């Protein structure tokens, strides 16, 4: 609609025409070229152009061409531009429904820690780790990437021994030692690593996180406690017996 209305832009016609050619060319480019980045392929090959490119192409094209038409002397051109902008503004209905009907449990909490602090013990542990001296943090690596993996060290602004293995696999393919390290961490959190304390000290780990998600595995916690107690002291944040949430901190 906006492109067809460009001849009505009056004194801004040449500039509106330039904008139209520019943004239509970008849109056509986004339709025929993909950007496979190693993560999104096959059925998801359109992920990058659709999610990352269309937004700014749409915004730049619609609002810049509309502005040129609204500045023109043609009443028809102004009506076309206003009609398009009104149609676009109907998105306020969807946005409003989201704001009204969504959960407001974390309203105003924009630092991202609110979800993990719902359990008070887990929140206390995270706050302590944030204020503690700097040091390498070890966390369990969860399969449902990237949920809950590497988040405590990140929120506490401390380095993780391993961050997100799947992201490292995409962007750091030259890390042949990563699979072996991930396997050792899995074994550690299962409580089956034969020399757990040596593993931690060899990698200069200062803090080991045992979060609410791991708190259900009491047997693994007991095995780890027996393995690392000589080198790492346990700091408990849970007030519920048999539900341990806390940190092993290097002595």
Walking along the chain (251 residues) 10 residues at a time, the average pLDDT comes out as 89 88 93 74 81 91 93 89 96 94 84 89 96 97 78 94 82 82 95 95 97 94 96 95 94 95
Tokens standing for residue 42: 């096959």
**The pLDDT value given to residue 172:** 77
**The pLDDT value given to residue 73:** 84
**The pLDDT value given to residue 144:** 61
- In angstroms, the CA 202 to CA 13 distance is 69
Sign of CA pseudo-dihedral 84, 89, 91, 93 = negative
* Parallel/antiparallel/unpaired status of strands 136-138 and 205-210: parallel
**The pLDDT value given to residue 145:** 63
Residue bearing tokens 């004194």: 11
**The pLDDT value given to residue 85:** 96
C-alpha dihedral (157, 160, 166, 168), degrees to nearest 10: 90
The answer to whether 168 and 149 are in contact (CB under 8 A) is no
Tokens standing for residue 130: 């944030």
**The pLDDT value given to residue 143:** 76
Contacts of 122 by beta carbon, 8 Å cutoff, 6+ apart:
116, 211, 212, 237, 245
Distances in Å between the Cα of 119 and the Cα atoms of 116, 177, 204, 243 are: 7, 35, 29, 12
**The pLDDT value given to residue 87:** 96
Task: Report DSSP letters for 3-17, one per residue.
Answer: TTTGGG-GGGHHHHH
Task: Report DSSP letters for 82-137, one per residue.
Answer: HHHHHHHHTHHHHHHHHHHHS--TTTT-TTS-TTTTSSHHHHHHHHHHHHSPP-EE
């Amino acid at each position: 609609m906006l492109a067809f209305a460009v001849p009505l832009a009056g004194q801004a016609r040449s500039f509106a025409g330039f904008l139209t050619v520019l943004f239509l060319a970008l849109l056509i480019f986004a339709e025929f070229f993909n950007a496979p980045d190693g993560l999104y392929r096959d059925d998801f090959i359109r992920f990058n152009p659709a999610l990352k490119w269309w937004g700014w192409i749409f915004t730049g094209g619609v609002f810049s061409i509309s502005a040129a038409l609204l500045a023109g002397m043609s009443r028809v051109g102004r009506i076309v531009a206003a009609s398009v902008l009104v149609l676009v503004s109907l998105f306020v209905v969807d946005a409003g429904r989201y704001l009204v009907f969504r959960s407001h449990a974390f309203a105003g909490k924009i630092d991202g820690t609110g979800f993990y602090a719902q359990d008070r013990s887990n929140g206390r542990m995270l706050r302590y780790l944030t204020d503690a001296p700097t040091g390498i943090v070890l966390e369990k690596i969860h399969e449902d990437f990237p949920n809950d993996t590497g988040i405590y060290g990140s929120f506490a602004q401390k380095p993780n021994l391993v961050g997100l293995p799947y992201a490292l696999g995409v962007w750091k393919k030259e890390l042949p030692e990563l699979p072996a390290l991930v396997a050792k961490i899995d074994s550690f959190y299962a409580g089956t690593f034969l020399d757990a304390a040596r593993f931690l000290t060899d990698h200069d780990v200062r803090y080991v996180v045992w979060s609410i998600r791991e708190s259900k595995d009491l047997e693994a916690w007991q095995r780890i406690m027996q393995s690392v107690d000589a080198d790492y002291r346990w700091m408990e944040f849970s007030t519920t017996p048999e539900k341990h949430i806390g940190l092993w901190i290097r002595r």
